[in-house]
Amino acid sequence: MGKTVVLGVIGADCHAVGNKILERAFTDAGFNVVNIGVMCSQEEFINAAIETNADAILVSSLYGHGEIDCRGLREKCDEAGLKNILLYAGGNLVVGKQEWSEVEKRFKEMGFNRVYPPGTSPEVGIKDLKHDLGIED
């Protein structure tokens, strides 16, 4: 049976185009995609992951407030019993041009398993997710 991923755009962020493209790409790659859409709170990601027994949560943030919006998500997942669920983040996570390695480090410290710089194609995420979930291509 296909693995389930929860997909959404976090915070007060309404950029909807990338979200649709990601839904399509991950579905075509064989994942059962639960797309909660734009403007989602951390709680909505978590509740969706609980009910659907998801294997990973894919967070997008495009509008620059990603760091604030994503803070505490890992801790809340732990609290909610989503032990070791994979957390990925991508989009335009921070404002302006910042040193990527620094940004990546900060998100990893927040408990994200994978963090992607602006313009990353969905295929990169798909490949990593298959690897992390032990799915053969």
The answer on whether 58 is annotated among ligand-binding residues is no
CB 34 within 8 A of CB 9: no
| 95 is an annotated ligand-binding site residue | yes
Q: Tell me which of another protein, ligand B12, none is bound by residue 64, counting a contact when its beta carbon lies within the kind-specific cut-off of 5 to 8 angstroms.
A: ligand B12
Q: In this structure, which amino acid lies at residue 82?
A: L
Q: For residue 83, what are its two tokens?
A: 């032990």
Measured CA to CA, the distance from residue 120 to residue 91 in angstroms comes to: 8
The verdict on whether residue 93 carries a ligand-binding annotation is yes
65 is in an annotated binding site: no
Examine residue 88 and tell whether it contacts ligand B12 (CB under 6 A): yes
Q: How far apart are CA 103 and CA 91, in angstroms?
A: 12
What CA–CA distance (Å, rounded) separates 111 from 2? Answer: 25
If binding is defined by CB under 8 A, does position 27 make contact with another protein? no
Check: CB of residue 123 under 8 Å from CB of residue 25: yes
Is residue 86 near ligand B12 by the rule CB under 6 A?
Answer: no
Which does residue 50 bind out of another protein, ligand B12, none, counting CB within 5 to 8 angstroms by kind?
A: another protein
What residue ranges bind another protein (CB under 8 A)?
1, 4, 12, 14, 32, 34, 36-39, 43, 47-48, 50-53, 63
What residue ranges bind ligand B12 (CB under 6 A)?
12-18, 21-22, 58, 60, 62-64, 88-92, 95-96, 116, 118, 120, 122, 124-125
Catalytic residues: 13, 15
